């Protein structure tokens, strides 16, 4: 069983990053508003814009935390799959992605 780090674009244009071991189910929960206290509840509908499978829950959580620390520009470069730009933006200040190994797989 794999784990996922994922990013949603919310209706208000903001981004939400999370991790899960059941991606389709979790996206359905976000869309349906299953958790009223969740950031996405009042920002629906949401759209999956990035998903990356990783081997362990710890890797997924670590990737989620790194991405949450990124600038909007860096997140949008990742969504586009522009890894040169992600790298460039990471060099301009402290780089929380160092060693992340994140790469898009075309999903999302």
Can you state the percent helix, strand and coil of the chain, rounding each to 5?
A: 40, 20, 40
pLDDT digits (tens, 9 = 90+) for 35-66: 999 999 999 999 999 999 999 999 999 999 99
Q: Tokens 């509908």: give the residue.
A: 45
Query: Whole-number mean pLDDT of the chain?
Result: 88
**CATH fold of 3-91:** GIY-YIG endonuclease (3.40.1440)
pLDDT single digits (tens) 24-40? 999 999 999 999 999 99
pLDDT tier for residue 102 given thresholds of 50, 70 and 90? low
């Amino acid at each position: 069983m794999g784990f996922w780090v994922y990013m949603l674009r919310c209706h208000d244009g903001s981004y939400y990053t999370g991790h899960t071991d059941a991606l389709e189910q979790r996206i359905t929960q976000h869309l349906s508003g299953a958790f009223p206290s969740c950031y996405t509840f009042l920002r629906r509908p949401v759209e999956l814009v990035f998903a990356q499978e990783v081997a362990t829950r710890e890797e997924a959580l670590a990737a989620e935390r790194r991405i949450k620390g990124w600038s909007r520009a860096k997140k949008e470069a990742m969504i586009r799959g522009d890894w040169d730009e992600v790298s460039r933006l990471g060099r301009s200040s402290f780089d929380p992605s160092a060693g992340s190994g994140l790469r898009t797989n075309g999903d999302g």
